Amino acid sequence: MDFKLVKEMLRRILLVTFTAAVLACHASPKTQPIVDGVSNIVPDEKQSLVCKEIVALIENYNYKKIKITDSISSIILDKYIKDLDPSRYYFLESDIKDFEKFRYELDDDFRNGDLSAPFYIFNMYLKRYNEWISYGLSQIKSSYDFNQNDTYVFDRENMPWSTSVSDLNSIWKKRVKYELVNLKISGTAPEKNVEGLTKRYENLRVQASKINNQDVFQLIMDAFTETIDPHTNYFNPTNAQAFTEDMARSFEGIGARLQLENEILKIGEIIPGGPAFKSKLLTTGDRIIGVAQGSAEFEDITGWRIENSVAKIKGPKGTKVRLKIIPVGQDVSSKPVIIELTREKIVMEEQSAKKTVKSIQSNGKPYKIGIITVPAFYADVNAARNGDKNYKSTTRDVRLLIDTLKNKDHVDAIVMDLRANGGGSLTEAIDLTGLFIDKGPVVQVKDLKNEVDVSEDTNPGVAWDGPFGVMIDRLSASASEIFAGAIQDYGRGIIMGTQTYGKGTVQSSIRMDDVVNPSILQKLAMLVGKTGGAGSSAQAQPQLGIINLTMAKFYRVTGSSTQHKGVMPDIAFPSLYPMDKIGEDTEKSALPWDEVGKSKFIPVANLSTIKPELIKLHRDRMAKSLDYKILEQDLADAKKREGEVSVTLNEAKLKAERDSLEAKALAKTNQLRASRGLAALKKGDKITKEESFDFVEDESLKIMADFMQIQK
């Protein structure tokens, strides 16, 4: 399926729609109710335009072909309220009754670009949030009796809304008491506990004061799009940039990870190879208080939102940025040091595919196995489009790793670790599969017209033809499932782990700006400029964000969808994640499972006779494995705790419970350490990275050794 054609089709069709939309921007929306006690946040014209066009995109191009009706409006309202206040700490029952007037209006409002209702709801939420954070602050210095046998209900999702301020005050008083008793049993002095909790609440209040209309609009669109299906998502301009950088595994800037601490931007990490690293002018812990572009004037960024500060520091490669720095260890009042850096393209290698080599013994025979960990299916599409021959992609990175494993490390087998890999580029999933099969279909895609297109690996030859395995878990999704499913269907390798997530839908990433006539964007820029937005210059074109729109479903070459069902492993492990809480089959708005016709493909091998032997050998080991026994105990204990919604506020009881849990955990850890010949830990000791043990990985390598021995 050619999504470039889809985008071009959308561009042409939506020009008319967007023209009408911009003209409609002049229409008067409903008056947004004012909430006393807070600075009311209001939507702008850009958001109005984007909202109505998202309605049009969903109604015309979403795979569900769903119409936004009163029933959808009702679900959006419930989801939005739940997203704002999931544990019912802020809204009163009277607030919820007040919001009922919007229950069947959001569909028409969104179609008209009217966001007054959800923005009013958010302003009411902000009012309540500030009220109860302030109340919490007022209760921190109160006198508490930690010998009482009272309890605190921390999970109130299924409880009724509080009917009065006094009821909610009582809940918040217990919340503060719980936070204080938690700090108390950790052993710190009472005055330090009061000081620390006060700072925590004050910081919450400060962060709330920085919320802007982009944040609110993102929350509203999340509730809207996720009501339609779990994977149709809108990203506001800031989040769109982060999404693009994550997919590309690169960005342009100084090469430093930044964090906010006490309203001041701090260097959290220096990325190796970047300008900050090469200059040796910055150190982890340095604080940035001012930023200047080239020779321009400095801007004081103290107290800014972190994304606004980061936006000033990032910029096109080759451009210069000057920073005012308070070096780590010096007082904030110290004279700042001014440094200048030239921005570069930064490649995030630590978030890219990487390899390790492990040696194991099986039946007296040594084996070297290469493990390739793939955290996502990424691709720097812009770099590829611009002709960069060294553009970043999963397949390119893995090909190089395989070459090293074959020719330098001389491994006997390779295992691909796709655990917690949530997917990414469909093209990369197809290309990566092509490294392990000669040629042939990899995935089938059914579009809006129910037409099925078969995507194939057309490149002859393979990068690795030796023994191969794939590790998966419940968080392996989408592109991971395409890859693992194809490897399984072709008989190309052994799939080990747990049933995957079950995301069998395809999203097309559409820049909202790309489907808008430039002249309309210019008019919109002027409209926004009138309200103090992006400015009135015709060149100041607003960025409208990105929508990932579900436009197709994918199917394995056998014809079976991975939707809901995911990929079932050949060798099963217990799931570390609750299967009834995580997965496509837990999503109310998810598309159903179905099938299409089988593709014409030639399996590489028939592993049906080998798999039963591998399963038997695996089960025999598990029956004797202390790791497996303790893993099952841990999962059973976690299952018991799932239903807990309250905790004791009695200090002695809470401490006894915590001590008991810690003692059991330490005893189990030392049991395992003893089985591996390691010294026992004492309370408070930490496991070093070198001593950490991945039981699932270790057993998967043993399965691969079994596989090689049976094959021979």
* Sequence letter at residue 40: N
Active site residue 478: yes
Alpha helices in 249-340 (DSSP H): 275-279, 306-313
**Tally of CB atoms within 10 A around 75:** 18
Rounded Cα distance between 388 and 303, Å, is 39
Q: Which residues pair with 548 in a beta bridge?
A: 233, 509
| H or E element that contains 360 | strand 354-362
Question: Residue 278: which residues within 8 A CB-CB, separation 6 or more?
Answer: none
In sequence order, what DSSP letters do the residues of 224-265 get, joined into one string?
A: HHHHH-TT-EEE-HHHHHHHHHHHHTEEEESSEEEEEETTEE
Reduce the DSSP state of residue 310 to 3 states and report it: helix
Active site residue 698: no
Rounded Cα distance between 509 and 33, Å, is 35
Reduce the DSSP state of residue 188 to 3 states and report it: coil
Rounded Cα distance between 309 and 299, Å, is 10
Rounded Cα distance between 479 and 468, Å, is 18
What would the two tokens of residue 80 be?
């939005």
* Sequence letter at residue 15: L
Question: Residue 704: which residues within 8 A CB-CB, separation 6 or more?
Answer: 367, 369, 413, 415, 467, 469, 494
Burial (CB count <10 Å: 0-12, 13-18, 19+), residue 483: buried
Alpha helices in 434-579 (DSSP H): 479-489, 518-530
- Catalytic hit among 229, 417, 489, 570: 489
What would the two tokens of residue 400 be?
């190089």
- Catalytic hit among 162, 250, 478, 560: 478
- Catalytic hit among 174, 355, 503, 553: 503
Active site residue 565: no
Q: What is the DSSP letter of 602?
A: -
Indicate the length of the chain as a whole number: 712
Beta carbons of 472 and 497 less than 8 angstroms apart: yes
* Sequence letter at residue 467: P
The catalytic residue positions are 478, 489, 503
